Amino acid sequence: MSAATPAIPHGATNLPAKDSPWILPSKGKVGMYCLIFAETTIFAIFVVAYIYYIGRSPFGPQPKQVLEVPILASICLLSSSLTIWLAERALHKRAMGQFSLWWGGTIALGLVFMIYTVLEWKKLIYEDGLTVSTNLFGTTYYCLVGLHAFHVIVGLIMLSLTLLFGFMGKLEARHTERVEVLSLYWHFVDAVWVVVFTVVYIVGR
């Protein structure tokens, strides 16, 4: 450290008052929105590919023949957005019992969705003979739905860790914002499902 550090003037007239508030957005939320933005572009490309390739498989099982609309699973997943919102509200009031209930409910609903996906894929692979390499429909279907499922799994792991911390009593008031950031991610996963569901099971069948 060589030359003296020049001092920033505090007496100049254009500076804000020392005790005036200076509120900036939360970096956790901004960071998560950025991540969501980037992930959206990845999903967008898989969706575009899916749509472009609708009806272009010259052989192999076609969507109408093998796909069943996953109504129950979708209701579960989309309701989990409601339960996670309720969990957040409980957390704000520091009602930890309620928080664990709703948060656990979110995880349960997400698990139901994943179990349904596993059963659906089991049927597709073993009964209908549709795999990623069977035909173009198989490739695009498994990649798009699989990418979403992967994001659900990551989300479930994070949610479960949070629930664990809650049970251990380690979830303090200062961690509330991080929980909010995580729920943002979960809402994103649900929103993506709305798009994937529409494209795969409604438009594409």
Partner 1 sequence: MSDSALPMPGGGVRDVTPERPSTGHTVAGYPVRETFLEKAHSWVVTVDHKKLGIMYIVYSLLFLVVAGIEAMVIRIQLAVPHNTFVSPQVYNRVFTMHGTTMVFFVGMPILIGFANYLIPLMIGARDMAFPRLNAFSFWMTALGGILLYYSFIGGVGLSNAGSAPDVGWFAYAPLTSKAFSRGHSTDYWALSLTISGVGSIGAAINMIATTICMRCKGMTMFRLPLLAWLYVVQAALILVAIGPLTAAQIMLMVDRYLGGHFFDTQAGGSAYIWMHFFWIFGHPEVYVLVLPAFAFANEIIPTFSRKAIFGYPAMVAASVAIGFVSLGVWAHHMFTVGMTSVSNAFFALSTMLVAVPTGIKIFNWIATMWGGKIRFATAMIFCVAFVFQFLISGLTGIILSVAPVDWQLHNSYFVVAHFHYVLVGGILFTIFGAIYYWYPKMTGRMLDEKLGKIHFWIFLIGFHLTFDFMHIPGFLGMPRHIYTYEPDRGWNTLNMIVSCGAVFQSVAIAIFVYNLVYSYFKGAEAGADPWDAWTLEWATTSPPPAYNFATEPIVGSRRPLWDLKHPDDLDSQWE
Contact 112, 197 (CB under 8 A): no
If you write DSSP's letter for every residue of 157-185 in order, what string do you get?
HHHHHHHHHHHTT---GGGHHHHHHHHHH
Which positions from 170 through 199 interact with partner 1, judged by CB under 8 A? none
Number of C-beta neighbours around residue 129 at 10 A: 12
Query: What is the rounded distance in angstroms from the CA atom of residue 78 to the CA atom of residue 139?
Result: 26
Q: Which stretch binds partner 1 (CB under 8 A): 27-35, 101-109, 154-162, 197-205?
A: 27-35
Convert residues 28-57 into a mask of x (bound to partner 1 by CB under 8 A) and - (unbound): --xx--xx-xxxxxx-xxx--x--xx--xx
Query: What is the rounded distance in angstroms from the CA atom of residue 15 to the CA atom of residue 18?
Result: 8
Can residue 79 be called a binding residue for partner 1 (CB under 8 A)?
A: no
Can residue 78 be called a binding residue for partner 1 (CB under 8 A)?
A: no
Can residue 15 be called a binding residue for partner 1 (CB under 8 A)?
A: yes
Least Å distance between CB 178 and partner 1? 12
Count of positions on this chain that bind partner 1 (CB under 8 A): 50
Which positions from 99 through 158 interact with partner 1, judged by CB under 8 A? 131-133, 135-136, 138-140, 143
Least Å distance between CB 47 and partner 1? 10
Task: Dump strand ranges (E) for the chain.
Answer: none
What is the C-alpha radius of gyration for the chain, rounded to an integer number of angstroms? 23
Q: Which is nearer to partner 1, 56 or 122 (CB)?
A: 56
Contact 158, 185 (CB under 8 A): yes
Outline where 53-95 has alpha helix (H). 63-66, 71-92
Q: Give contact residues for partner 1 (rule: CB under 8 A).
A: 1-6, 8-10, 12-16, 18, 20, 22, 24-27, 30-31, 34-35, 37-42, 44-46, 49, 52-53, 56-59, 131-133, 135-136, 138-140, 143
